[in-house]
A and B are shown apart, each in its own frame.
Chain A
Amino acid sequence: EIVLTQSPGALSLSPGERATLSCRASQSVSSSYLAWYQQKPGQAPRLLIYGASSRATGIPDRFSGSGSGTDFTLTISRLEPEDFAVYYCQQYSNSPPLCSFGQGTKLEIK
């Protein structure tokens, strides 16, 4: 089973600043199967990035994803007030079809 470790666990930044969130896998993950989600309190998660670097429909271009192998990054170029939330990375392997999430990074307003 692939374990995803996100860092930092929490990040305090101000609106307008740049956020860099990390996701490290215990073994190599195909970038095709790496996604990022945003979750706000009381809401279901929302897809941000799939295939490690492709933005989902309607996601602003201040969100970007990168990485390969075991190291992946979600970058928010200029934080807006609505970006403060918890972010999860996810890998979905196809053979066998198994999925795992990172433990999450909480992005807080400084």
Chain B
Amino acid sequence: EVQLVQSGAEVKKPGESLTISCKGSGYSFTTYWINWVRQMPGKGLEWMGRIDPSDSYTNYSPSFQGHVTISADKSISTAYLQWSSLKASDTAMYYCARRSFYYDSSGFRYYFDYWGQGTLVTVSS
């Protein structure tokens, strides 16, 4: 069974650093990109960026470039989302999601087929 299991909820103060994790199981971790998605309280989904666990190559949304770091350790099938200095505006639920693909005569199709359960990050003084 494919699963993405995220680390638990965090409560932090502004200026603190934080790393949250997403562990994949039940599939070949290096075959599928892992994406991170933010959902602020009562708001919609925002794509933050992705990592290819096979080589740790990353792409970021322009909105998040320079504010977070995405990494992965393929030896333990785990992806990470890291902040060096949190702000109150980072308070949100964060999801990891596996980008899957399907190929047929029309070409490739890409979509997020499995999601983690979410990690709630609260930043407050």
Contacts and interface: CB of A to CB of B under 8 A. Distances in A.
Interface of A: 1, 32-33, 35, 37, 39, 44-47, 50-51, 54, 56, 86, 88, 90, 92, 94, 96-104
A51 B62 contact: no
B44 A90 contact: no
Contacts of A88: 44-45
Counting contact residues on chain B (CB < 8 A from A), the size range is: 20 to 34
Interface stretch (B8-16, B23-31, B83-91, B115-123): B115-123
B44 A103 contact: yes
Contact of B115 (A1, A33, A45, A50): A45
What's the dominant secondary structure at chain B's contact region?
Answer: strand
B45 A104 contact: yes
Contact of B59 (A39, A86, A96): A96
Contacts of A33: 109-110
Given A33-B110, A45-B115, A90-B112, A98 B102 contact: no
Nearest to B103: A32
Contacts of A94: 108, 110
A98 B113 contact: no
A100 to B, nearest CB: 6
Contact of A101 (B45, B109, B118): B45
